[in-house]
Amino acid sequence: MAGLVETMGLTGRTNVHGEQVQRLDEFANTTIIQALDHTGLLAAMASEEMEDFYPIPERHTRGPYILVFDPVDGSSNIDVNVSIGTIFSVYRRDDDSPPRVEDFLRPGREQLCAGYLIYGSSTMLVYTTGQGVHGFTLDPTIGEFLLSHENIRIPDRGAIYSVNEGNYGGWSDAVRRYVDSRKSAGYSARYIGSLVSDFHRNLLKGGVFLYPADRKSSEGKLRLMYEANPLALIVEQAGGRASNGSESILDIQPRQLHERTPLVIGSRLDVDDFDAAL
């Protein structure tokens, strides 16, 4: 309904990352918090759209889990009706003391569950709890997600590379060589500009997505906790890899909630090639 009701366009505010906040970002953030704050399952939530984490108010029962989410991924595609998504991951706390930021600052390997929703030609939920990756498609006539993609496996090598090549001039020589090598190997370029959508396509078909560091941003653009970690758990569970060029994304010890990381993710051999090229 976004095109018919007042949920498109900018709010006029900027978020903690200095980006302009879209109305749908804010709407999705509030919807997720309101849907989950009283379930008794969570102790706290952190979102790409909020500067600090959100402890579950004491009037609600607190549970053992921590939720981390990106309410709308691919914000620049909202107003032009291109696929966007929602990304989430779940951790467990060890005790029931008041939640602290340290509860969130844990390597991605400690995620209990990670997943995303993609709003495309159909709405899908793809998730893992460490026992493979499974995809469910929403049947809007009954309001249920039905298992449509059981045990997804990503091909070991793909034939697609996904990167914002407008940044070519700011990349290191090694990154340029890697992207050039995909072209000379006959790969196709596909870049939607919504991470979830680019990732989902490569997960099903094989391929590599990269958002490397460049001259403007030495840490790349994407967020470790809200974007890279959940997708890294999913890709590893599907037989692929995720790296920052020197280590597995899932092994990085986060230092702050909104930390960024270079990200290379997708088919195992394509990510191996990237690490070898650096």
Q: Which of 15, 86, 194, 237 binds ligand FDP (CB under 6 A)?
A: 194
Q: Choose between 99 and 108: whose C-beta lies nearer to ligand FDP.
A: 108
Closest CA to 165 of 182, 145, 143, 146: 182
Question: In the complex, what is the shortest distance from the CB of residue 146 to ligand FDP, in angstroms, rounded to a whole number?
Answer: 26
Count interface residues toward ligand FDP (CB under 6 A): 11
Task: Decide if 41 contacts 65 (C-beta within 8 A).
Answer: yes
Query: Alpha-carbon distance 232 to 263, whole Å?
Result: 9
Q: Which of 15, 37, 66, 73 is the binder for ligand FDP (CB under 6 A)?
A: 73
Interface with ligand FDP (CB under 6 A), residue from 29, 75, 89, 111? 75
Among 20, 30, 61, 76, binds ligand FDP (CB under 6 A): 76
Residues 62, 200, 221, 268: which binds ligand FDP (CB under 6 A)? 221
| DSSP for residue 91 | E
Residue 3 tokens, joined: 């095109």
DSSP state letters, 29-47: HHHHHHHHTTSSSEEEEEE
**Residue given tokens 């195992």 in the structure block:** 268
Q: Does 115 bind ligand FDP (CB under 6 A)?
A: no
Among the residue ranges 68-76, 110-118, 151-159, 266-274, the one whose residues contact ligand FDP (CB under 6 A)? 68-76
Q: 3-state SS of the chain: helix, strand, coil percent to 5? A: 30, 30, 40
Residue labelled with tokens 């078909």: 205
Q: Does 266 bind ligand FDP (CB under 6 A)?
A: no
For ligand FDP, which is the closer residue by CB, 66 or 263?
Answer: 263
> Mask 116-155, x = binds ligand FDP (CB under 6 A)?
----------------------------------------
Q: Looking only at residues 149 through 188 of this chain, which bind ligand FDP when binding is defined by CB under 6 A?
A: 164
Q: How far apart are CA 175 and CA 183, in angstroms?
A: 13
| Nearest alpha-carbon partner for 208 in 126, 270, 148, 263 | 270
Which run of H or of E encompasses 200? helix 195-205
Query: Contact positions toward ligand FDP, by CB under 6 A?
Result: 73-76, 164, 193-195, 221-222, 227
